[in-house]
Structure 1
Amino acid sequence: MIDWFTALQIGVAVTGGLLAVVLGAIGRRPSDLTMAFAGVVALLLIVQLAVTIASPLMGNEPTGSLFEFYIYLISAIFIPIATGFWALIDRSRWSTIILGVGQLAVAIMLYRMGQIWFIQVA
């Protein structure tokens, strides 16, 4: 895991999440903007998967449980994909809110993944 990349992912997920929740709260349906944020979050998570597969091979070992880390990462990858499909099927303001809540959940999961990788204490 790369610290600055994780911070970037959290920033994108929080920005997209808050934007979607606010737009959904004022009654906006899913748009290209809200769907794009979900797509970018999913893409960044897939890149994170590739980075975390290569990192231990290059000496960047996690301090916590690698199994727990990958459970978080694989689960997080499915969240923006699932909420994106939901928004494509149900074109209501609630699906925009679901997009936002999903991205905020991913941001929280990324923060926890950073803790697992970098700052576990025995």
Structure 2
Amino acid sequence: MLDALTVVVGVTALALAAWCGFAAYKDQPTKDWHFIGMAVVTVLALAQLVVGIVRLAQGDEASEGTAIFVSYLIGSALAVPAAGFLSLAERTRWGSATVAAGAVVLAVLEVRLHDIWGG
């Protein structure tokens, strides 16, 4: 798959995790600009989903199996939006902590996607 995109998604996810983690440390809920950050990370993850599906359609294969690879692609695209949705229900510092945790999960999924693809 595209290594540069995987690195960019992972790094932006970790930046979002640090940003929202700092907000949780400062006892702040998620705010509008946090949701803008979540949107940026989500768009990158969706771009990775599209690139992964296109690569599979072109005949490339993941070393550990197509089904696992597609499952991880879908999970990585949904990790941050799910955390953002949960943070709307929890309008305290724990909402920010939830987004930080979701972003860390995305970064870990990126490492696993790289391994599944054959990196």
Deviation at 1:4, TM superposition (A): 0.5
What is the CA distance between 1:63 and its match in structure 2? 2.2
Moved more, 57-66 or 16-25: 57-66
TM-score by length of 1: 0.88
Tell me, yes or no, if the aligned pair for 2:9 and 2:41 is still in contact at 8 Å.
yes
Task: Answer yes or no: is the 8 Å Cα contact 2:52–2:73 preserved in 1.
Answer: no
- 1:17–1:104 CA contact under 8 A, matched in 2: yes
Partner of 2:97: 97
Superposed counterparts of 1:29-108, under 5 Å: 29-58=29-58, 60-108=60-108
TM-score (norm 2): 0.90
Once residues 77 and 11 of structure 1 are traced to their aligned partners in structure 2, the CA distance between those partners, rounded to angstroms, is 15
Number of aligned positions between the proteins: 119
Contact 1:18–1:104 (Cα < 8 Å) also in 2 = no
Q: Does the 8 Å contact 1:13/1:37 carry over to 2?
A: no
RMSD between aligned alpha carbons? 1.5
List gaps (5 residues or longer) in structure 1: none
Q: Deviations over 1:56-91 (max 9, x none)?
A: 344543222111111112122222111111222321
Identity of aligned residues (%): 25
Q: What secondary structure does 1:61 align onto?
A: coil
Q: Distance between the aligned counterparts of 2:66 and 2:92, measured in 1?
A: 39
Q: Distance in 2 between matches of 1:57 and 1:71?
A: 16
The whole-number CA distance in structure 2 between the counterparts of 1:82 and 1:111 is: 20
